Structure 1
Amino acid sequence: MTINATTYVGFRGNAREALTFYREVFGGDFQVVEWPDNDEHLIMHGHLITADGWDLMCADNPELGAEDSANQRMNIVIWGDDAETMTSQFEALSVGAEVHMPLVEQAWGAKFGGLKDKFGVDWGFNVEAPTADA
């Protein structure tokens, strides 16, 4: 079983440009999933796996208003297949938190949940089904 973490950065419409730049700097390759039904080709989920093997994830966040124009949205994403440990961690972080999405089954086949902890840090948990070799 494994558990990993990476930084997930929110952009105001220039996530693809940022990923392209980061790929130029760090090497590697990225994949993107665009928000459905948008003519601007905004990114719903972008994932850069660098040449050194570390990850950076990002998205365009169309919900950010003009008052947030100087801010980037960033959260910590935990992903892995140790459902028992990750569920316990999510529940522990939920104490005194604002849970945006409970840890529940999602369309992509994993359980996902998100919250802003009592310190104002945004967290996402993506619990995959264990792999056959685990």
Structure 2
Amino acid sequence: MAIKTTTHLNFRGNARDALAFYQSVFGGELTAFTYAQAQAVTDPAEADQIIWGQVLAEDGFHVMAYDVPSAVSWDPGTIPVFVSVQGGDAEGISRCWKRLVEDGTVVRPIGPSGFSPFYGMVRDRFGTTWVLAVEAARPAP
């Protein structure tokens, strides 16, 4: 059996904007279904919010998101999750970095690290913390 994991991000009313932003950074197809489309509206003010959404790119990038309804307690915490994006070259990672830092906060400037020739961390305008790195060869155990 093959297993694949996908990062699923939770938002409060701005999942559509976040998914559109991630599509602009990483490319791919954005799919979004609203609470109204799913016939799952509990608060009419939230009918157009996202109950299920994703960005899926041919290169393997995949992220999902939804809007947590106001009736559900939700606290995103300080750093509940990092989304790690690894690629084979600094140019590609650099392109993504430049877009993610727009209106974001650099947590660790991008550059060489002990475990990657090109590594950085940024909290984007939606509060999601991204770790971007060029994959490095690992020594055999």
TM-score bracket, normalised by the shorter chain, equals: 0.3 to 0.5
Name the structure where strand makes up a greater proportion of residues.
1
Pick 1 or 2: higher relative contact order, CA cutoff 8 A, min separation 6. Answer: 1
Kindly name which structure, 1 or 2, has the bigger radius of gyration based on alpha carbons.
2
Q: TM-score, normalised by structure 1?
A: 0.46
Q: TM-score, normalised by structure 2?
A: 0.44
